[in-house]
Amino acid sequence: MKKNTKLKVMMDNAPFGGMLLIGALTIASSFLFSTYGIIGAISYILYGILGSFWLMIFVCPYCHGYGNDGCPSGYGKLSAKMVKGKEQKFFAQKFRKHIPAIVPLWIIPVICGAIELIQVFSWLLLFLVIVFIFDSWVILPMLAKQNGCAKCPQKKQCPWMKQKQM
């Protein structure tokens, strides 16, 4: 298994980090940067961080990258510090079961932005929603598929990769 450098791990996580930051700005802007908007933005970022730990605890132990430097996101090494490794044959089942826990991260900013845009149009908010969609729905999946997923020995059993190959 090829070792990923710290720079590679940072590059792999950049689109997700960007998604969280742009999503938080979108939510804050949707509430006109009010107290509710700031609380919503902070909550969104915390949800993203907790969602990552959720995956590290409930999905990563079943992955081939668990506990080694071959994990593109670096989650595998962090996961090994939190939980014991499990049987890889259950990866697809655990992935399907636990990935819905983070799916709202891709939807919440768009909903908040759309609702506010309908009520009070803002070029800034429209720009943020477009950038968010481009980063989270185009760039992030494309880079994941090209970098981590393309070389993954579990891609044939991965529900996400099977969906992308159809």
d(CA 101, CA 114): 22
Percentage of the chain lying above the pLDDT 90 cut = 66
C-alpha angle 6-42-126 in degrees, rounded to nearest 5: 90
Q: Which of 33-42, 56-65, 72-81, 156-165 has the lowest mean pLDDT?
A: 156-165
Report pLDDT for 16. 94
- Residue 166 pLDDT more than 50? no
C-alpha radius of gyration, the chain, whole number: 17
pLDDT digits (tens, 9 = 90+) for 31-53: 989 999 999 999 999 999 999 99
Quick one: pLDDT at residue 48? 98
Other CB atoms within 10 Å distance of the CB of residue 127 = 13
What is the average pLDDT value for the chain, to the nearest integer?
Answer: 89
Share of the chain above pLDDT 70, in %: 94
Chain segment 79-108, per-residue pLDDT in tens: 999 999 999 899 989 999 999 999 999 999
Model pTM greater than 0.85? yes
- Flag whether pLDDT at 121 surpasses 90: yes
Query: Is pLDDT above 80 for 125?
Result: yes
Look at residue 51 in the predicted model and tell me its pLDDT: 97
Q: Looking at residue 162, what is its pLDDT?
A: 60
Please answer whether residues 37 and 30 qualify as being in contact, where contact means their C-beta atoms are separated by less than 8 angstroms: yes
Residue 132, sorted as left (phi over 0), alpha (psi -120 to 50) or beta, turns out to be alpha
